[in-house]
Amino acid sequence: MIHLSLIGIGTGNPEHVTLAAVRALNEADLILLPRKGEGKSDLVDLRRLLCRNLLEASSRARIVEFDLPRRDSRADYLGAVDDWHGAIAEVWAALMATHLPQGGRVGMLIWGDPSLYDSSLRIAERLGAKGQEVEIRVVPGITSLQVLTAEHRIPLNVLAEPVQITTGRRLRERGWLSDAESVAVMLDSGGAFESLPPEGLYIWWGAYLGMEKQSLIHGWLVDVAAAIVEHRAALRERHGWIMDVYLLARKPLTPSQSNSPTDTKGV
């Protein structure tokens, strides 16, 4: 049997990795590290760094890197994602069969938390359909939303009000999705907030959260939207990739921000 641990590792800051994650990592016989191409080499470099820093001398884990299949960019988004997940599951299954033919413990380092806009759990479920006996364990990690609110020193929600968590794609398609006073947006390819009427909306934006190159901007959307789009493009050009997330609300979440000008950090 394969015992697969999906280990949430936060946003790239080794200090955000929990003790439970360290324990799971050291219990593994095999650790699989995905490579996403030269443009995103920082991501596998950070995983390598975590393994170097967190694996104990007594660990018997074998570290194996693999090239992550690319997702088709066709218009049928959900169909393309489904096929992509299938291709990834095939790679995982082959690696496990090659390196642990008699079964064992496998660790996979997952950005943020495996439960929030991450597909590792869905992919892992496909392994059983391929005839592999797999027991899945999830080790929770700090999410980008937690780091965003911590770095901006704000709560996630307006007092006693709900929060909507969505994607940039859905924000463009549907606008403000509910009666929520605040909306958190993930997986935005860039500037989905420009599809909203900017008046009366406040934004807290962050990129590379938890990393040395972390960048933050907050302010009224009407004042900072263009600056965020321009700054985001410059960061992506500089680093070759970008991960960002933001929170929108109908009013500032702390009294001190009621008349706050544009504020930036790490720019």
Q: What span, in angstroms and rounded, lies between the C-alpha atoms of 27 and 58?
A: 10
Q: What span, in angstroms and rounded, lies between the C-alpha atoms of 91 and 125?
A: 14
Q: Which residues of 186-195 are buried (b: 16+ CB within 10 A; e: fewer)?
A: bebeebbbee
For residues 7-14, average pLDDT = 89
Return the DSSP state at 28.
-
Contact predicate 229/207, CB 8 Å: no
For residues 207-214, average pLDDT = 93
Residue 195 CB partners (closer than 8 Å, separation 6+) = 171, 172, 175
For residues 227-245, average pLDDT = 94
Q: Which residues of 114-153 are buried (b: 16+ CB within 10 A; e: fewer)?
A: bebbbebeebbebbeeeebebebebbbbbbbbbbbbebbe
Place of tokens 């965020």: 228
Place of tokens 């392994």: 127
For residues 37-59, average pLDDT = 86
Of the candidate ranges 91-100, 173-182, 239-248, the one whose mean pLDDT is the lowest: 173-182
Structure tokens at 114: 């495996």
pLDDT at 165 over 80: yes
Query: pLDDT digits over 90-149, tens only?
Result: 999 999 999 999 999 999 999 999 999 999 999 999 998 777 789 999 999 999 999 999
Return the DSSP state at 16.
G
The string of DSSP codes covering 70-129 is PPP--S-HHHHHHHHHHHHHHHHHHHHHHH-TT-EEEEEEESB-TTSS--HHHHHHHHHH
Q: What angle do CA 264, 112, 185 make, to 5 degrees?
A: 55
Q: What span, in angstroms and rounded, lies between the C-alpha atoms of 44 and 49?
A: 9
For residues 20-39, average pLDDT = 91
Q: What pTM did the predictor assign?
A: 0.88
Beta carbons within 10 angstroms of residue 250's beta carbon:
14
User: Which pLDDT does position 261 carry in this prediction?
Assistant: 46
Report the length, in residues, of the chain.
267
The string of DSSP codes covering 34-80 is EE--GGGHHHHHHHHHHHHHHS-TT--PEEEEEEPPPPP--S-HHHH
Of 36-40, 80-84, 226-230, give the range with the top mean pLDDT.
Answer: 226-230
Contact predicate 123/88, CB 8 Å: yes
Q: What span, in angstroms and rounded, lies between the C-alpha atoms of 218 and 247?
A: 9
